[in-house]
Amino acid sequence: MSRGLNKLMIIGHLGREPEMRYTPSGRPVTTFSVATSRSWHSSDGERHEETEWFNVVAWGNLAEICNQHLHKGQQVYVEGRLQTRRWEDSDGNKHFTTELVAREMIMLGDRREPDDGKYRADVDEEEELPF
């Protein structure tokens, strides 16, 4: 069987403060959004800009680090995999969400601590959904 590749790398700014919760088993999970922007000039010379928003989910130690060190507006590099979750609410409505499951995070721009700002997730941990 051939292997596939699901790897996503983004650099952008946090759109909101990280939110940390715990699964029923006590495992931390942090969610936040990151905006990435691109700009280009059309053939008539007009400048265009487009912003794409990514929902990011971090688990375990990386979740705790993201919750503690990241703040709205901060520039960040996030690497991980793209995941789409599906669920049905109590009224029978089907919902879908696509998110970046973080494996690595690097704080960019102004840092408040003297470390290198690079954090990695434990890749062997099993994931639980907090909802």
pLDDT digits (tens, 9 = 90+) for 43-77: 999 999 999 999 999 999 999 999 999 999 999 99
pLDDT digits (tens, 9 = 90+) for 2-19: 899 999 999 999 999 999
pLDDT-derived band at 126 (thresholds 50, 70, 90) equals: very low
List the domain boundaries for the chain.
8-120
pTM of the model: 0.78
- CATH class (in words) of the domain with range 8-120: mainly beta
- Whether 123 shows a pLDDT value over 50: the answer reads no
* Contact residues for 87 (Cβ-Cβ < 8 A; gap 6+): 94, 95, 131
What type of residue sits at position 64? Answer: E
Closest C-alpha among 70, 53, 86 to residue 19: 70
* Contact residues for 112 (Cβ-Cβ < 8 A; gap 6+): none
pLDDT digits (tens, 9 = 90+) for 100-120: 999 999 999 765 544 555 555
Which residue carries 């008539």 as its tokens? 44
Which residue carries 């970046």 as its tokens? 100
